Amino acid sequence: MSDWQRLWPAPAKLNLFLHVVGRRPDGYHLLQTVFRFVDYADELRFSPRPDRRVVLATPVAGVDPESDLTVRAARALAQAKGCDRGVTIELTKRIPMGGGLGGGSSDAATTLLALNRLWGCGLDLSDLQTIGLTLGADVPVFIHGRNCFAEGIGERFYDVRLPPAWYLLVVPPVQVPTLAVFTDPGLRRDTPRLDAACWQPGSGGNDLEPVTCRLFPAVRETLDLLGRYGRARMSGSGACCFVEFADEQQARAVLAVLPAGVCGFVARGLDAHPIQN
């Protein structure tokens, strides 16, 4: 199978903690977090075109295809390399939108990684991360491709070794607009910085959680529900929440007893992005 025929995964991520430690003069928030990839993913397929157009053949409901991050990523790569090749993108969407799992950023990163290879651009990961940062703060970490402690606006990484784990994720019936959380006057922005070398699995909280729970009570209800079975955490700005388990059987046993109508799934923690393996 050629690279043009293969399916390219775009995995979800979890924020194992997320602290807001300051704010730059330009308004960007300074963060510290640990990203973990999980084996729940969108999938993309790319087909060459005889023209120079970038076309998303499978638009996402409610998203203008011209502003979709996959389209923007392809065009940004073409512009960076002076490339005049076209592509049709097929996106199979599984990662919930507005869930704090990084689906759009992951799709953009996979587009950059795939087309860099398919178009023969020859850019290294650092070059691709620079392009990715123009698309969104989380895009570079998906290009980096390793579980890591990240800080700044998402551009500085320190790889971390994480123990094997399984996660039960629950998707509340809301989509959380990240901008609404970060612009809320009640958001804490002065959490003391952590030394990346001193971070330990299980430490830290999510500074966005109080604001998201106030704006979207369904998130608080989900955290309360999952809190019966372990330490419940929210990923990113929400809405998805998760609990960590040592093995798949435990995670699936809890999933099986959740109330009817609760939308959830089980995912395995990964050591690296599947494209980077």
Active site residues: 13, 138
Contact 246, 230 (CB under 8 A): no
Contact 144, 125 (CB under 8 A): yes
C-alpha closest to that of 170 among 96, 273, 247, 116: 96
How does 186-219 read in b/e, with b if 16+ C-beta sit within 10 Å? ebeeebeebebeebeeeebebbbbbbbbebbeeb
d(CA 197, CA 206): 19
| DSSP letter assigned to residue 167 | E
